[in-house]
Amino acid sequence: MGDDERAGAKAHSRAAGVVLGCPSALLDALYLLVAGAALGPFLLWPRTRPDALAILVAGARRPAALERWRRSFFFGDRFPEPYEVPGPRLLRYLAVRGWTGLVCGAVLGLLGFGAVLAVLLARGVARGTLGWQELLTQLLLGSVLLFLDAQGLHALAALDARIARECFGPSERDLLRRRVEELAVSRAAVVQAVDSERRRIERDLHDGVQQRLVALAMLLGRARRGRERGQDPERVDALLRQAHGEARDVLAEVRDVAWRVYPSALDALGLEEALGGVARRCSLPLRVRFEVGDEPLPRPVETAAYFVVSEAVTNAAKHSAASAVAVRVSREGALLTVRVEDDGTGGADPDGGGLTGLRSRVAALDGVLRVDSPLGGPTTLVAELPCA
């Protein structure tokens, strides 16, 4: 199905939803009138008011569920599940929905009446019983009424969508409270990830670089003492060559640690070149597809994408027994997607230390990190980072 066909099907579905909303609104209004009249005395008496209100709300949930289904089926609205709508909000929705639906029915009726008049006008023109002056007058009035009907339908449809979102979706207060909770969790996760990163750097320096520097100092010390004591020059030269090799290894490890802390190429050359550096340092065959386009990425997004790839590739080389890794970085609109897949044995723990740190880094940018790693492989890691 092409784009035009999909757009046409969507428009037809919405039109059907608007038309079917008129009888459903009549049911809503009848329920409130009948149930309200029957329970009115009990609602007025303070002692029976809570029970009567509970009965009224319980009965209102069925027509409200019908309205929710209508919005989901014909308009494609997505509401949170499960979400319990408070009783007063539900009754207020049915009251507004009943009124707007009846008005929408009246507008549709006027539109149908206008279509009948247009047919009669066309017959009069065909028979020659209608003068040009009267025809122009009728066309002008019909155009104005058609414009008003179209504007009215558009406004009523927008109002129907808004009150449905307000009723069946979280309220502004609920959204604000949820956002505050997400930010608090994200802040705590970022602090924990930073602490974990610092401990990892300290461990790399202590267990790697420091041990190599100690070995280098011992080799140089042995060579110096050998030369002072007049030992065999070849033995001293061998110690110096060994120390020189150790110095090169220390320099390479310091460079690797610096890259893991923050790659300088990310600032100087951009994300694509920084990922090329990851590919050159990786012990596995690594294929990188970079499909971002010419529009620059925000710096925090570039940094998060780099560390997602670097950590995932490192984990694949160390733990997955993989023979190859594929990385794809693509951008669609305001969303950057990073996908890393290896052909290893799988079984990666999504709650492990490294992946938890990555998830916190991605969540700090309102992104999402998904890990799929069944036993036997393959392992697929997908990070979605908003660029806006």
CATH 3.30.565.10 fits 270-386, yes or no: yes
Banded pLDDT at 195 (limits 50, 70, 90): low
Q: Does the structure show a pLDDT above 70 at 50?
A: yes
Bigger pLDDT: 380 vs 188: 380
**Which residues, 6+ apart, have CB-to-CB distance to 263 below 8 Å?**
274, 277, 306
Q: Does the structure show a pLDDT above 80 at 239?
A: no
Task: With beta carbons less than 8 A apart as the criterion, state whether 301 and 385 touch.
Answer: yes
pLDDT average, residue stretch 303-324: 83
3 state SS of 374: coil
pLDDT average, residue stretch 273-293: 83
With CA atoms as reference, report the closest residue to 315 among 255, 383, 252, 373. 373
Bigger pLDDT: 316 vs 253: 316
Q: What is the pLDDT of residues 320-337, one digit of tens each?
A: 777 888 899 998 888 899
pLDDT average, residue stretch 221-234: 76
Percent of the chain predicted with pLDDT > 70: 88
Q: What is the pLDDT of residue 165?
A: 85
**Joined tokens for residue 171:** 């309220």
How many angstroms separate the CA atoms of 149 and 138, rounded? 16
pLDDT average, residue stretch 314-319: 80
Q: What is the pairing mode between strands 325-332 and 379-386?
A: unpaired
Q: Domain ranges in the chain?
A: 3-168, 198-261, 270-386
Q: Does the structure show a pLDDT above 60 at 168?
A: yes
pLDDT average, residue stretch 218-226: 79
The model's pTM is: 0.50
**CA 6 to chain CA mean position, Å:** 24
Lowest mean pLDDT among 59-73, 171-185, 356-370: 171-185
Banded pLDDT at 282 (limits 50, 70, 90): confident
The CA-based angle 353-200-242, given to 5 degrees, is 135
